[in-house]
A and B are shown apart, each in its own frame.
Chain A
């Protein structure tokens, strides 16, 4: 479904992604694990059109995604739940949800989806008239996920859903993501800083560090966590290190 081939992204002189390649197949849960600043968020933003790679290609169902056009990419069924929640704080919960439906033309289905999504999030239904900014962190995380679901995505990109949330809330968030995946037929690409929760749910894992993919394997093969730890902290050989040294010398 999604094929990323050797993308490079820079912010000014800072090189955030130095050749990332990854793929996600229909119906999979794929997880990107890596420390802060590794390039996880940039990868998701590049897919969603928020940043433009200066090299490499991103293909959705075999067609290249126009870089830098987030509203186009949203229309193709790719929805990003960015890190840090990005609730519209002065809009009510209902308005936050409605924003996600304006690009859709299937008004009847929108009304049905709205009810269905609210049934998934009873807490949001109770707070439907409150400004988004008044919600607790957990509720805000629920709101941004509900909002993303209302764009009716095929591919949902979730950036650090557990960031800054109590473990109990994180469990709820994952439960909802998995339920939504079942009921909506979603494909998921999730970023996390730590692997312990995601190893249970993911089909495949990529470990990303310093703008490179350090490790890629089926989650089933990584359950002991040792290989992930080595890739995460950069022990042992690093696939990108030689290339980096070469470029710096040049």
Chain B
């Protein structure tokens, strides 16, 4: 029983990271029809921004040593700026391009960022100890929950609540929802397209930063491709959740986290190495049952 609870907490914690990453991907897909493969690299940048540029194996924290009230805004700003620059340099000239073109362009952005990190920080993975105190376990009866997992889950819930409030209650949020549903119609009503897209990139960057910090403090390692598996699972989450639906992205993220942890825990020892293969089989099964994802939206309907 305790084992199951423990696994559920792990699933919620991992699912939180996937859900946050999936939200960042889903937001841009909703507004721009961009499947942004560079989202994982936004996450990497958030982690690398914390350390001193060097080729050393043990990373020396720089911004990472600052008090969190200063550190989080600074790192967020860096990632948001990178996200906005990639929009301005790459995606803005491609506004009228097709969705596959945008996706290929995002591969290019991803490649450039990864190689940029490689040039500045070297190729080898680095160890970094962010927020070392947070792995102290907290006991709920017999259940041991690391403080970091609680922070991860709570931070995710807070961010989702804030995003929901933003989208529902503010004028910019209503503009973004309108543009996500029918971009051209929103423009006909005077909503500035480039502004809304910039806003989506900025929020996507903020969500990526949250994933960077939480993920780095859990794993303690940096590598130039560290964001790639996160982004991959985030895409899977948005697809099974229903492309274009933010609620779907969150549901999908938690579901993927749940499946991965449960497979990890209950697969026979000799099959555990193939955990991800089983996880993706499960994804295929969901898509066979619900090809448009768990939550269907108009986003996939072709527009004329």
Contacts and interface: CB of A to CB of B under 8 A. Distances in A.
B188 A50 contact: yes
Among B189, B190, B193, max chain A CB count under 10 A is at B189
A174 interface: no
Given A90-B177, A95-B174, A99-B174, A70 B182 contact: no
Interface string B182-195: 10111111111100
A136 B69 CA distance: 50
Interface string B158-182: 0000000000000100110110011
Given A98-B171, A98-B174, A88 B185 contact: yes
Contacts of A88: 177-178, 181-182, 185-186
A102 B188 contact: no
A80 B188 contact: yes
A197 interface: no
Interface residues of A, number: 26
Contact of A102 (B177, B181, B187, B191): B191
A103 B188 CA distance: 11
A99 B181 contact: no
B292 to A, nearest CB: 15
B298 interface: yes
B185 A71 contact: no
Nearest to B189: A100
Contacts of A25: none
A71 B177 contact: no
B92 to A, nearest CB: 14
B181 A74 contact: no
A71 B189 CA distance: 7
A103 B181 contact: no
A207 B36 CA distance: 46
Contact of A82 (B177, B181, B185, B192): B185
A245 B201 CA distance: 49
Among B187, B188, B298, which residue has the most Cβ atoms of chain A within 10 A?
A: B188
Nearest to A86: B185
A80 B187 CA distance: 10
A234 interface: no
Interface string A56-80: 0000000000000011001100011
A74 B188 contact: yes
Contacts of A103: 189-192
A142 B182 CA distance: 18
Given A99-B186, A103-B191, A151-B190, A91 B177 contact: yes
A102 B175 contact: yes
Contact of B190 (A50, A71, A90, A96): A71
Contacts of B171: 98, 102
A152 to B, nearest CB: 10
Contacts of A75: 190
Given A89-B181, A91-B177, A95-B174, A74 B190 contact: yes
Nearest to A94: B174
A70 B185 CA distance: 9
A91 B189 contact: no
Nearest to A48: B188
Nearest to B195: A71
B192 A71 contact: yes
A40 interface: no
B174 A71 contact: no
Given A70-B184, A82-B185, A91 B190 contact: no
A147 interface: yes
Nearest to A73: B188
Given A71-B193, A89-B181, A91-B181, A99 B175 contact: yes
B188 A89 contact: no
Contacts of B185: 82, 86, 88
A82 B303 CA distance: 13
In this complex, which of A48, A74, A91, A99 has the most chain B Cβ atoms within 10 angstroms of its Cβ? A99
Nearest to B95: A68
Interface in A88-127: 88-91, 95-96, 98-100, 102-104
A53 B184 CA distance: 17
B188 A79 contact: yes
A74 B187 contact: yes
A41 to B, nearest CB: 9
Nearest to B174: A95
B184 A50 contact: yes
Contact of B298 (A70, A74, A89, A98): A89
A175 B25 CA distance: 46
Contacts of B182: 86, 88
Nearest to A81: B188
8 contacts: A50-B188, A74-B189, A82-B188, A88-B182, A89-B181, A89-B298, A91-B177, A96-B178
> Nearest 3 A-B pairs (CB), nearest first?
A103-B190, A74-B190, A70-B187
